[in-house]
């Protein structure tokens, strides 16, 4: 599994990375984002989704309360998961995790809780991880 780390100067740099990732993502790609509050996970996911949809003003809320949002784009479906609040790894299956991966959609997940790490590690063997930190 390829892992990439970038030190990003600001929100604009994070958004530029999101645009580049949107162009590079292929069906069944999985991007796992980890970091504390304010690390830029939602900013990066939002930039990916806006670029993929071709809608710079697309409203992309953090899925903190819904836990998953699905976006249909000209590039195909993108699933945006927030796994932080999961208490057990098997809870992710109730959100459609396997469905997203099986259908060949692209998946972005903010991984925070230990339960989510278990699931993400299982699926990340075929995916890339991007670690983005702001300067």
- pLDDT per position as a tens digit, 57-73: 999 887 777 888 888 88
pTM of the predicted model, to two decimals? 0.76
CA geometry: angle at 109 spanning 106 and 39, to 5°?
130
All structural domains of the chain: 3-134 (3.40.50.300)
Nearest to 124 by CA among 102, 103, 109: 109
H helical segments located in the chain? 11-24, 41-53, 97-102, 114-123
Going from the C-alpha of 62 to that of each of 17, 24, 109, the distances in angstroms are: 18, 22, 11
CB atoms within 10 A of CB 25: 21
- pLDDT per position as a tens digit, 17-51: 999 988 988 887 778 777 777 788 888 889 999 99
């Amino acid at each position: 599994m390829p892992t990439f780390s970038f030190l990003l100067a600001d929100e604009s740099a994070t958004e530029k990375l999101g645009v580049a990732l949107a162009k590079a993502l292929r069906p069944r790609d999985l991007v796992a984002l980890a970091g504390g509050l304010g690390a830029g996970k939602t900013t990066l996911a939002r930039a990916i989704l806006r670029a993929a949809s071709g809608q710079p003003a697309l409203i992309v809320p953090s899925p903190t309360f819904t836990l998953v949002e699905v976006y249909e784009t000209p590039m195909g479906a993108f699933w945006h998961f927030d796994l932080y609040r999961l208490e057990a790894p098997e809870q992710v299956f109730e959100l459609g995790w396997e469905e997203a991966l099986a259908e060949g959609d692209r998946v972005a997940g903010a991984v925070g809780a230990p339960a989510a790490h278990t699931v993400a590690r299982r699926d990340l063997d075929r995916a890339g991880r991007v670690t983005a930190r702001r300067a």
